[in-house]
Amino acid sequence: MSTVLVIGSGLGGLFAAVRAADAGHRVTLVTKGALDESNTGHAQGGIAASLFPDDSPNAHLLDTLRAGAGLSDAAAARVLCDEGPARVRDLIRFGAHFDRDESGLARGLEAAHVRPRVVHAGGDATGAEIARAMLDALSRRPIVVREQTMLVELLTEPTPNAADRVVGAELQAADGRREKLYADAVVLATGGAGQLFRHTTNPAIATGDGVAAAWRAGARLRDLEFVQFHPTALAVPGTPLVSEAVRGEGAVLRNRAGERFMLGRHPLAELAPRDIVAREIAVEMAAQGGQPVLLDATALAPTAAENAALLAGRFPTITAACTDNGLDWATLPVPVTPAAHYWMGGIATDLWGRTSLPGLFAVGEAACTGAHGANRLASNSLLEAAVFADRAVRALTADVAASADLPVSGYERRHATTDTRSDGVSPGASAERLRPDENREHTALRATVQTLLWDTAGLERDGDMLAAAADALAALPRPYTGPGASRRAIEDANLLDLARLLVAAASARTASVGAHFRRDAPLSAPSETPASREEALAC
C-alpha cells in the first residue's frame, strides 16, 4: 500500500486526502493549525460552475479567459470549466448543502461573469459549509490527521536522470518537536500568502509555507507578481471580506460625495473585473485623503425592513461583521477598502497537479495551474481546488503504480518516522538567519515586510518602487528556523523568502497586465522574456 502525505486542510487538501483514501492509499493529513482552520472556511461568495441549462462550460471558459487578461493557460482553464460541474456534484454527494430556490439550486451573479452561475451555501457562508461537509467525509475514512503540525522543509533524494525527488517532509509539532515523515507522494495544499500585505482578507495562517518550502527544495514557481486585491473589504479592524456577490445583488460603490464613481469607468461598472474595481477604489480613496469609499446596499429591496431581511438572509456573515462594528448596512452605506485576497501565482504545476519535482504535487492556492492567468475570475478558486485535487490524486496513483517495480533507495527509511536535529533549511535557502535568542529583537519583521509590500508591490507598482523594495528586503536578516525556532519565526522566514521572490517577479514583468499594474508602463506591451522571468524567480 502506498503512502500519501497531504499538507493543508482547506478544500484542496481535504478533497485530495479523501480521494487518495478512496483510491486505496495510506493517507496522513498534516495541518498547521486546527483541522477546521483554513482559507476555505472564510470563502463567502460561492463556487462557479456551469450547472444550469442556460449556461455551458464554453461560456464559463470565455469568462475565465477574459478575466485572465490574455495570460491564462487555455488548457488549464478548459479543464477547470469542463470538470467543474462534476466536482460540484461530488461536493453535494459529500454532503454540502447549497442554497436552493423554487427552481432547484440557487445561483448568483458575480463580477465578470456574463450570467448567474455561482452557487452558494448559507447565503455567504459557502466555504464554511463546504469545509464542514469535507471534514465529515474525512472523519469517515481511515486517514491519520496531525493538527498543530507545521511544515518546515520538504525532504528530497537525488535521482539519476531528473530533478531531486520529494520523499517526505520535515515537520514541527506545537511543542517544538521535529520529525521526518516519509511518503511515496506529497501533496502541498498550504494555501496562499495574504499575510505578505498589511491589508488582507486572509486569516493569520496564510503565510505561504508550502510555496516557500517548495522553492527551497528546487521546485519551479510561476506568476508570483499576480496578486488579486479584493475590491471590498470592510474598513474595520481585521478587514473582513465583503463578497463580490453583494455587488452582484445590486449594491453600488460611492465616494464620500455620494457619487457612484464606477459608472463611466468601465462598461460593467461595479461588476468589472476585480483588478479594475480595486484600482478605481484606490483612485477615489487617494482623491479623498485616503478615506475608504462606501458600499451602498441600502436599496436592494423596496422597504428598509425588507432590505434588512434580505441582507440578513443572503449575507448573514457580512451582516454579523457589520453589526459587530456598529454598522447598519441595511440603512447606511458602509466603508470598504481593497485588501490582498488571492495569489494567482505559486508552485508551477501541469494539468495533473504535478510540480517540477517528482513525487511532489500542489493544489489549491499554493499551486499555479495557469488557469487564472493575470487575474482570477470570481468564485473560481474553490472550483480549482476541487478539480485539480481530484486530478492530482489520479496522477499520483498512476505515478506510484508506474514506479512500483523500480529500485528505490532508502525504502525502509522513507516509511519510518524519525526525530531530527537538522535546522530544516535546505542548501538553497538564504544563509543569513537569526539565532533563537535574537528573535525577540525582531518581532517587527512581519509588520515591516507587510508595510513594504503594501506600499511598493500592492495595487500599483513601478520600477523605482520595486528596486527600493528589493534593496530593503535584501537588508532584512532571515529569522533562524532551526531547532527551537518558534512557529512565528518559521512563518516570518517564509514570508521574507516570498516577498523577495514576488518583488523580483514584479520587477521582471515591465508591462501592466491584469492584477499587475505598473504606473511607469500602464499601456506598454510585455517586454520580459521567459529566460529573464525564470532568472528572476531563481534569485
Query: In sequence order, what are the residues at sequence separation of 6 or more whose Cβ sits closer than 8 angstroms to the Cβ of residue 371?
Result: 64, 68, 72, 73, 76, 77, 79, 80, 380, 384
CA distances from 302 to 306, 310, 311, 330 (A): 7, 11, 13, 12
| Grid cell in block for residue 215 | 522553492
Q: How far apart are CA 271 and CA 276, in angstroms?
A: 10
Q: Which of 1, 53, 5 is nearest to 31 (CA)?
A: 5
Angle at 166 between CA 502 and CA 83, to 5 degrees: 70
The answer to whether residue 274 is catalytic is yes
Residue 475 DSSP class: T
Strands 178-182 and 417-419: antiparallel
Rg over alpha carbons for the chain, rounded to the nearest Å, is: 22
Element (H, E) at 441: none
Residue 365 DSSP class: G
Element (H, E) at 113: none
Per DSSP, helices labelled H in 27-73 are 57-67
Q: Which of 1, 2, 18, 21 is nearest to 10 (CA)?
A: 18
Cβ proximity of 195 and 343 under 8 Å: no
- Say which of 87, 107, 274, 279 is annotated catalytic: 274
Which residue's entry shows cell 496522513? 28
Work out the burial of residue 102: count CB atoms within 10 Å of its CB; fewer than 13 is exposed, 13-18 middle, 19 or more buried: exposed
Strands (E), 165-210: 165-173, 178-182, 185-188
Query: In sequence order, what are the residues at sequence separation of 6 or more whose Cβ sits closer than 8 angstroms to the Cβ of residue 49?
Result: 60, 84, 85, 87, 88, 117, 119, 383
Residue 193 DSSP class: -
Neighbours of 218 (CB within 10 A): 19
Q: Active-site positions? A: 274
